[in-house]
Amino acid sequence: MDSPSVRIKTIIVDDEPLARDRLRSLIAIQPDIDVVAECANGLDAVAAIRAEKPDLVFLDIQMPEMDGFSVLESIGPADMPVIVFVTAYDSYAIKAFEVHAMDYLLKPFDRGRFEDSLSRARVTIRQGKFGDLSRQLMSLLQTARSTEAQSDRGVDRLVLKSGGRVFFLRVEEIDWIEAAGNYVRLHAGKETHLMRESMNSIEDRLDRTRFIRIHRSTIVNIERVKELRPLFHGDYEVMLEDGARVILSRSYRDRLSDHLKSAL
């Protein structure tokens, strides 16, 4: 056991209450860790990091509105604490973490994996290697943003979290997506799934040649569109293969026209 003489101020950031509970319970048995804040979103995380100036942050990557990478951008290298990323399966993210020698916890993780990460964080904090860490984090961030900017293909599958479980949905199975408050509802065949994500965020992650935003509250898989029926004032009713009927609003009509190479 590392010496508990140096207290380590820590912040937990995760949009899932069960995930925060898990981290809190593992931290509670550590004699040198003080949790000074818990945050459920990126905006609160940025505010807490600036106010508390923690030594260590357990940072979820996939959060609605403001993800973990955006938190890093907002904080900047000068005020960067030691970061342990917490993520569900994402092949690109994990490869990036490993290439840039950044530590991460892959959900669901056990106590042994958590304590390994915590031990490495202790070493970094006690040796004061924050400059090296900040450079690694900024390099990771540049790589992540560059890859996002260069790719319109989108992700192959989405990570869904429900009742403490993590499971995956292949994007090609999705018929259409609708806004549902702070969530999006994914329609895939006879199944629907709620995902804590904004419409703008989910749109950015999807293949733009396949998924088209047709309304501020609706995204459709163009391969599932069966028929378009004109309505009033330039709107259309969109008939999907699963029988669903959604509205193509006039303000989004050009997006579909561009994709179809035909004026509506």
pLDDT band at 152 (very low <50, low <70, confident <90, very high): low
Rounded (10°) angle between helices 68-75 and 42-52: 40
* CATH 3.40.50.2300 domain position(s) in the chain: 8-150
Peptide bond into 17 cis (omega under 30): no
- Residues 26/114, Cβ–Cβ less than 8 Å: yes
8-state DSSP, 251: G
pLDDT band at 100 (very low <50, low <70, confident <90, very high): low
- Residues 87/60, Cβ–Cβ less than 8 Å: yes
Structure tokens, 85 = 């990323």
Q: How far apart are CA 214 and CA 70, in angstroms?
A: 27
Structure tokens, 203 = 């749109």
Q: State the fold for domain 157-260.
A: OB fold (Dihydrolipoamide Acetyltransferase, E2P) (2.40.50)
- Residues 25/54, Cβ–Cβ less than 8 Å: no
Q: How far apart are CA 242 and CA 238, in angstroms?
A: 11
Q: How far is CA 170 from the centre of its chain?
A: 16
Query: Which 3 state secondary structure label does DSSP give 109?
Result: coil
8-150, which class in CATH?
alpha beta
- Residue 3 pLDDT > 50: no
pLDDT band at 182 (very low <50, low <70, confident <90, very high): confident
Q: Which residue has the higher pLDDT, 140 or 18?
A: 18
Amino acid at 110: D
23-32 tens-digit pLDDT: 999 999 999 9
Q: How far apart are CA 243 and CA 251, in angstroms?
A: 24
* CATH 2.40.50.1020 domain position(s) in the chain: 157-260
What value, to the nearest 5°, has the Cα angle with vertex 36 and ends 181 and 78?
90
215-244 tens-digit pLDDT: 999 999 999 999 999 888 788 999 999 999
Q: How far apart are CA 72 and CA 78, in angstroms?
A: 11
Q: Which residue has the higher pLDDT, 58 or 64?
A: 58
- Residues 13/45, Cβ–Cβ less than 8 Å: yes
